[in-house]
Amino acid sequence: MSSKFFAAAASGLAAFAVASGAFAQAAAPLAKAPAAPAAPAITHGAPIASLCVFSAGGVRGASQTGKAMDARIKALQTTAEQPLSAREKALQTKIDTFNAAAKTPAADINAREKQKADLELEQSALQRDVAHMQMELFATNESAQQAYSTELQPAVISAYQSKQCGVLLERSAVAIFNPAMDITPQIVAALDARGKAGTFQALERTKLTPQQAAQLAAQLQR
């Protein structure tokens, strides 16, 4: 019974390893896709007066403000996950040792059952802490996104007005456009001119009580 339980526990830990990386990119390398044929040259018509486009992703990726936010969120994630990953590895070692010992007759059944119960508690505590960490990182990301949006909006308006736009479209919603209509660089400049990159570099992880974390998890499951 003990060995079966911890075989299942080991599978649970494997699931935990996946869950704890919910904020991380997949590490498995992908096979290179065949090179795409060169895009044909495009001759654009004249720019449409007062019609502008921009790339929200381009602004975030090119601006010092956006890069500072992304780098800080990644650093906070790494800092939060490292100790939990170490605990997961240590627990897995204990489970492997327990399973190996379970293949031989136990000299003290009570001692083995006590060890099993202790490992169950340790696993439950680890899973609880992983779930709590994930909710804190989610809340941190949400807070950062809201702060970034607060900074981005006036930068977009500033560039929109300076270029005398009448309509502004997200670049991904337009199949082809004259590059002269793209005001992404102007928005990047206006955003960084606000000087808030340092604010995102100093971003701290949002702390949640167990109750707050549980409430957030429940909201995300709806």
Q: pLDDT digits over 92-140, tens only? A: 999 999 998 888 887 788 888 999 999 999 999 999 999 999 999 999 9
Tokens of 189: 């400049």
pLDDT in tens, 166-222: 999 999 999 999 999 999 999 999 999 999 999 999 999 999 999 999 999 999 998
∠ CA(9), CA(14), CA(17), 5° rounding? 125
For 21-30, 34-43, 153-162, which range has the lowest pLDDT when averaged over its residues?
A: 21-30
Alpha helices in 63-108 (DSSP H): 64-101
Q: Which residue matches tokens 């202790």?
A: 118
In this structure, are residues 36 and 122 in contact, taking their beta carbons and an 8 Å threshold? no
Alpha-carbon distance of 204 to 40, in angstroms, equals: 47
Report, as an integer, the average pLDDT of 12-38: 49
At residue 92, φ and ψ (nearest 5 deg) are: -60, -40
Q: pLDDT over 90 for what percent of the chain?
A: 73
Based on its alpha-carbon atoms, the radius of gyration of the chain, rounded to whole angstroms, reads 26
Alpha carbons within 13 angstroms on the beta-carbon side of residue 18 total: 6
Tokens of 222: 């709806």
Q: Is the pLDDT of residue 78 over 90?
A: yes
Which DSSP letter does residue 181 get? Answer: G
